[in-house]
Amino acid sequence: MIVNVIGGSGFIGSRLVNRLLSNGLKAVVLDKVASTNRTVQCNIVNVNDCKLLSSSLASGSIINLAAEHRDDVTPKTLYDEVNVEGARNVCIAAEVNNIRTIVFTSSVAVYGFAPLGTDESGTFSPFNDYGRTKLEAEYVYREWQSRDPESRSLVIVRPTVVFGEGNRGNVYNLLKQISAGFFLMVGTGRNLKSMAYVENLSAFLEHALSFGPGVHVHNYVDKPDLDMNTLVATVYAALRKTPPKFRLPYSAALLAGKCLDTLSLLSGRKFPISSIRVKKFCSNTMFNTNVSSTGFVAPVELLDAFERTIRYEFVDDNTNKQVFYTE
Active site members:
130
Q: Which residues contact 40 (CB under 8 A, 6 or more apart)?
A: 8, 17, 21, 27, 28, 29
Relative to beta strand 192-197, strand 161-163 is: parallel
Q: Helix, strand, or coil here: 126?
A: coil
In this structure, are residues 156 and 218 in contact, taking their beta carbons and an 8 Å threshold? yes
Length of the chain equals: 327
Closest CA to 161 of 99, 231, 236: 231
Closest CA to 195 of 235, 232, 226: 226
d(CA 184, CA 283): 16
Distances (CA, A) of 66 to 32, 89, 90, 125, 145: 9, 12, 10, 22, 19
Q: Which residues contact 273 (CB under 8 A, 6 or more apart)?
A: 256, 257, 260
Q: Residue 112 — φ and ψ, nearest 5°?
A: 70, -150
d(CA 176, CA 203): 27
d(CA 200, CA 327): 20
d(CA 196, CA 219): 10
In this structure, are residues 80 and 21 in contact, taking their beta carbons and an 8 Å threshold? no
Q: Residue 87 — φ and ψ, nearest 5°?
A: -65, -40
Give 217: exposed, middle or buried? Use CB within 10 Å, 0-12, 13-18, 19+.
middle
CA geometry: angle 37, 38, 39, nearest 5 deg: 95
